[in-house]
Structure formats: C-alpha cells, structure tokens
C-alpha cells in the first residue's frame, strides 16, 4: 500500500504544479494584455503545450490510480477532486491563451482609461488572491481558506455586470475605441468565467477534505 | 416472530418475511452488550448491533479483530471452542438464541453457514445437497429431489451438474464446490446465511459468480459476510461493520463507510494506512 501513497503523492504534486503553471499563465497574459507585450503573449501561447501535456499526465495518473489501487474514502474523494480541478485549471489556462491571442492580433494598445473604467486591475488582483487562497487550501487542506474564494467571486460578478453599460458609454463617446472596447469587454467576460472556475475548484477542495458537496447548493 | 422449529416439510417454502413485508422492518438479529473471552483473552469487548432482514452486511477488519468470532456467535459455532465464554444477549427473530432450552441444531437450520474453504462431503453432488434434509429425518424422496434441484438452481449450478448428480462433489472445481456448499446450506431453508470469507480461495470468475449469487439471495435471506476484500464489501453489502481489537468501531451504510467514514480508524483501515 506504500506504493499507493507514493502514487497519490505524485498526483498531489502534479496538481500543485498545474495550479502554479496556470496561475503563471494567467498573470503573464494579464501583463501582456495590459502592456501590449506581444513577446510575452507569444510565450503564453507557446506554454499552452506544457499545460496540455500536464493535463494529460494528471488524467492518465488518476486513471491508473483508480484502476490499480481502487481508492476509497478520502483517497477516492481526492482523485475525483483532482480530476475536476485539473479540468477547470486547464480551462483557465485556455482563457489565458485566448487573452494572449488578442494581444498578438491587436495592432494598437488599448487606451489606459478603458482599463481603469472597467476596473481591470481590480479584477486581476481579485483573481490573483483567489488563486492564492486555492493554492493554500489545496496544499494545506485548509477548508476555511477555500471558502474565502466564494466571496471574492462576487467582486468579479459585480464588475462584469457593470461592464456592459460602461463599454456602451465609451463607444458612444468615441467610435475609434469600438474594437478595443469590444476586445476588453470580451476579456472581462473571460475573467468572470475564470472566477466561476476558481469557485468550482474551491468547491472541489472542500469536497475532498470535508466530503461536503457544495455544487448547486450555495446561494448565488 | 419465533425461530421456526418445525420440520421444513410442513412449512411453506416461502419465508415469512417475504409473505409479510412488515416483518422486514423488524430486526433480524439484535446483539446487545456482547463480550467474548477465550480463557483470559477478551476477544469481543462489548458490541451492540442490529441487522435488518433481507440485507447483506459485511464485517471487515484486520486479522484477530473479532469479526469471525462475532459472526460465529449467530449460530453458536463458538460453543465448541475451548475456553469460550460470553456475556450479553443475541436475539434472532426476537428470540434469545443463548437461552438454555434452545435447540442448537434447529438454530443452525435457521442460520446456515458457508466457510472460507469449500468443504463438500466426500459424497455425490446430490447427496451433498440432500445431506441436511436427511439428517433432519426427511425421507420423502420426491421432496428431497425437488429441494436439491431448487437449491442447485438458486446457486446457478443446476445447468452445470444436472447430468452428473452422482459425481463426487469433490470432483467439482473450487468455485463450483463453494456454490455446492451454498446449495447445501440453502436446502434446509435457513433465513440467515453466515459467510466467512467465502471467496478468498476462489479465482475472479468464481468470485464474481458467488457475489452475483449473494446479490440474488438477498431477496430471500439475510446475509452476513466476513471479508478481507474491501472492494467486495463495497460491491455486495448494504451495511458494513468495521471491527478493531474486539470493538465495533463503525457500523453504517456501506456507501457511507467507503465514501465518507465517520471514524479516522475506519478511514485509515479501508485506505490501507494500517492493519
């Protein structure tokens, strides 16, 4: 059985690695987008292959663990949670990839005042904090920290709700920023979606540690 | 409901709990404050347990934890063990089976047992199954014939042996021998079947057949199985009891035990971290 514990630890470490990698992808995508740095954007696009490879490795290791070790109780919940967390992280990395693609495709940088109006920095800081909470919760089996993620997600929802009228107003004021505004609006939507995925991950961490199913239960 | 003491030939073949569904709500087995000693060794240290009819209950735990001792209390198999003594009360169908006037042979008709190693008698397949009926003094050949056929059918062995009923039971494969032993148990129409690691000596295909059989038998019988195979307990039982050092650590629905056990000791054991 010692081998099972060893295999589980390998999966656990891969999970941590995936968290770090996806956080880094999203942060680099943010800087690339904010600074209109196409080199950094290219780096994110190229690193997507590493994310996909790690995603496949975790999937394969989980499958092997289920088939060979027949996990039960906390081991079973761990494997089930890691598979879902891995899936959600891979989608977060996909969003980082899409944001970076905009940088490559966009000829001119986005007007700084648009970032301010849409509270772009606040969105990213919130997401970064959510990532930190999830990393602590996952690595230290800390349910209390995982729960903090839900509150943070509400900030993202609020910014997202307000974004439509802000963008509408900016376009009315200056038709030259239509393209920029629409791309920024799309990025805000993606970041809001990233928040939802982080929330799912927090739910999975809680399920793994406390066997509590939160999916579809919490008030919106 | 009292333990049936009548000759099965006079009894309806269908169990009471099948005829009257309300009986399904009454505990089949109630064990209260059970303590067992083998001379000075305290093997069971005060266990309470209630088992519902028509369920499969798995007993799990490391070797020497008392699960087989506890199982064997239900048909008084421990009575013959040197130095055995016990405290507490065990009721089957509401009757205390350790009262002085209980006929142990009658009790064992009600509570059948299947052992770890298939143990057919060195007799023909037919005689193996008919054995229990004959020692009860039943001589009606037609009745015995019908009961042998129905028992072999219940364990899924009939099609495999119907043309070889005179062949020795010992000539069958290990899996077939174990099913023959179960048929022998069923022939005397018990309502409870105790199984002490019934598949530990069998290959995966024979094991799957026995597990399928247990699932089917649940409709008519109450089954208690001791197993060291966690996956088997998970697959076939409705309830699981985890024993450790003579104590009942946790007893709950199998789904709960294997997804979210309440006790840390249970979790450590089923995930292979100790024991």
pLDDT at B23: 52
Interchain CB contact of A34 with B (< 8 Å) = no
Instruction: Tell me how close the Cα of B60 comes to any Cα of chain A, in angstroms.
Output: 14
**Cβ-defined contact of A73 to B267 (cutoff 8 Å):** yes
Kindly state the average pLDDT of the residues A99-119.
Answer: 91
**Cβ-defined contact of A72 to B260 (cutoff 8 Å):** no
**A65 in Cβ contact with A79 (< 8 Å):** yes
Instruction: Tell me how close the Cα of B230 comes to any Cα of chain A, in angstroms.
Output: 9
- Burial classification of residue B45, based on how many CB atoms lie within 10 Å of its CB (0-12 exposed, 13-18 middle, 19 or more buried): middle
Instruction: Give dist(CA B158, CA A133) in Å, integer.
Output: 63
Q: Per residue in A11-55, pLDDT tens?
A: 999 999 999 999 999 999 999 999 999 999 999 999 999 999 999
ipTM of predicted complex: 0.71
For residue B194, which phi and psi values (nearest 5 degrees)?
A: -100, 135
| Sequence-ordered strand ranges (E) for chain A | none
pLDDT at B14: 42
Interchain CB contact of A141 with B (< 8 Å) = no
Task: Identify all chain A residues contacting B266, using CB atoms and an 8 Å cutoff.
Answer: 73
pLDDT at A212: 83
Interchain CB contact of A208 with B (< 8 Å) = no
Task: Identify all chain A residues contacting B258, using CB atoms and an 8 Å cutoff.
Answer: 72-73, 76
**Cβ-defined contact of B260 to A73 (cutoff 8 Å):** yes
Task: Identify all chain B residues contacting A72, using CB atoms and an 8 Å cutoff.
Answer: 230, 234, 258-259, 270-271
Q: Per residue in A168-212, pLDDT tens?
A: 999 999 888 899 999 999 999 999 999 999 999 999 999 999 988
Average pLDDT, chain A: 93
Considering only CA atoms, which of A105, A98, A4 is closest in space to residue A51?
Answer: A98
pLDDT at B239: 96
Instruction: Tell me how close the Cα of A81 comes to any Cα of chain B, in angstroms.
Output: 13
- Is 90 exceeded by the pLDDT of residue B187? yes
**Which residues lie across from A119 on neighbouring strands?**
none
Instruction: Give dist(CA A72, CA A66) in Å, integer.
Output: 9
Instruction: Give dist(CA A191, CA A181) in Å, integer.
Output: 15
pLDDT at B16: 45
Cα B175 from chain centroid (whole Å): 17
Q: Per residue in B85-100, pLDDT tens?
A: 999 999 999 999 999 8
Token couple for A108 = 């001119």
Instruction: Tell me how close the Cα of A211 comes to any Cα of chain B, in angstroms.
Output: 6
Stronger pLDDT, B273 or B235, i.e. the higher one? B235
Q: Which percentage of chain A shows pLDDT scores above 70?
A: 98
- Is 70 exceeded by the pLDDT of residue B263? yes
Task: Identify all chain B residues contacting A213, using CB atoms and an 8 Å cutoff.
Answer: none
pLDDT at B163: 95
Instruction: Give dist(CA B33, CA B39) in Å, integer.
Output: 19
pTM of the model: 0.79
Task: Identify all chain A residues contacting B230, using CB atoms and an 8 Å cutoff.
Answer: 70, 72
Q: Per residue in B95-128, pLDDT tens?
A: 999 998 999 989 999 999 999 999 999 999 999 9
pLDDT at B2: 41
Q: Which percentage of chain B shows pLDDT scores above 70?
A: 91
Instruction: Give dist(CA B145, CA B141) in Å, integer.
Output: 6
Q: How many Cβ contacts (< 8 angstroms) between chains A and B?
A: 30
Interface test with B, best of A9, A73, A78 (most B CBs within 10 A): A73
Considering only CA atoms, which of B24, B28, B7 is closest in space to residue B144?
Answer: B7
Interchain CB contact of A213 with B (< 8 Å) = no
Q: Per residue in A119-174, pLDDT tens?
A: 999 999 999 999 999 999 999 999 999 999 999 999 999 999 999 999 999 999 98
pLDDT at B30: 96
- Is 90 exceeded by the pLDDT of residue B19? no
- Closest chain A residue by Cα to residue B275: A1
Tally the C-alpha atoms within 13 A of residue B105's C-alpha that lie toward its C-beta. Answer: 7
Instruction: Indicate the pLDDT class of residue B24, thresholds 50, 70 and 90.
Output: low
Kindly state the average pLDDT of the residues A86-114.
Answer: 93
Instruction: Tell me how close the Cα of B268 comes to any Cα of chain A, in angstroms.
Output: 9
Interchain CB contact of A4 with B (< 8 Å) = yes
- Is 50 exceeded by the pLDDT of residue B153? yes
């Amino acid at each position: 059985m010692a081998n099972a514990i060893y295999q589980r630890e390998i999966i656990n470490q891969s999970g941590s690695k995936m968290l770090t990698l996806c956080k880094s992808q999203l942060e680099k995508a943010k800087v690339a987008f904010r600074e209109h740095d196409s080199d950094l954007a290219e780096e994110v696009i190229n690193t997507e292959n590493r994310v996909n490879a790690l995603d496949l490795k975790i999937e394969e290791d989980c499958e092997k663990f289920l088939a060979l070790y027949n996990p039960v109780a906390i081991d079973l919940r761990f494997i089930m949670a890691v598979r879902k967390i891995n899936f959600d992280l891979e989608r977060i990395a996909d969003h980082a990839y899409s944001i970076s693609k905009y940088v490559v495709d966009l000829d001119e940088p986005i007007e700084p005042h648009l970032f301010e109006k849409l509270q772009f920095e606040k969105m990213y800081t919130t997401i970064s904090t959510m990532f930190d909470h999830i990393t602590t919760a996952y690595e230290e089996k800390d349910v209390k920290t995982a729960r903090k993620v839900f509150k943070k997600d509400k900030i993202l929802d609020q910014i997202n709700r307000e974004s439509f009228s802000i963008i509408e107003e900016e376009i009315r004021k200056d038709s030259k920023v239509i393209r920029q505004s629409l791309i920024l609006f799309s990025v805000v939507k993606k970041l809001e979606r990233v928040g939802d995925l982080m929330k799912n991950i927090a739910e999975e961490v809680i399920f793994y540690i406390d066997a509590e199913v939160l999916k579809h239960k919490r008030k919106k | 409901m009292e333990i049936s003491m009548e000759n099965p030939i006079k009894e309806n073949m269908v169990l009471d709990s099948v005829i009257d569904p309300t009986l399904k709500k009454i505990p089949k087995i109630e064990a209260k404050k059970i303590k067992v000693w083998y001379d000075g060794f305290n093997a069971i240290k005060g266990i309470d347990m209630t088992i519902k009819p028509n369920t499969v209950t798995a007993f799990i735990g490391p070797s020497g934890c008392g699960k087989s001792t506890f199982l064997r209390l239900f048909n008084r198999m421990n009575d013959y063990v040197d130095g055995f003594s016990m405290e507490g009360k065990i009721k089957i169908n509401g009757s205390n089976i350790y009262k002085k006037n209980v006929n142990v042979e009658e009790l064992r008709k009600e509570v059948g047992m299947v052992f770890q190693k298939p143990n057919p008698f060195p007799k023909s397949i037919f005689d193996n199954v008919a054995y229990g009926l004959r020692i009860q003094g039943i001589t009606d050949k037609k009745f015995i014939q019908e009961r042998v056929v129905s028992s072999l059918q219940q364990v899924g062995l009939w099609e495999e042996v119907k043309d070889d009923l005179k062949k020795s039971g010992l000539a069958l494969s290990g899996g077939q021998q174990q099913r023959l032993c179960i048929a022998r148990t069923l022939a005397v129409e018990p309502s409870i079947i105790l199984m002490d690691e019934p598949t530990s000596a069998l290959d995966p295909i024979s094991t799957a057949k026995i597990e399928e059989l247990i699932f089917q038998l649940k409709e008519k019988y109450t089954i208690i199985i001791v197993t060291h195979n966690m996956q088997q307990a998970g697959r076939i039982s409705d309830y699981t009891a985890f024993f450790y050092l003579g104590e009942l650590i946790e007893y709950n629905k199998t789904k709960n035990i294997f997804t979210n056990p309440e006790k840390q000791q249970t979790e450590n054991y089923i995930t292979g971290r100790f024991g």
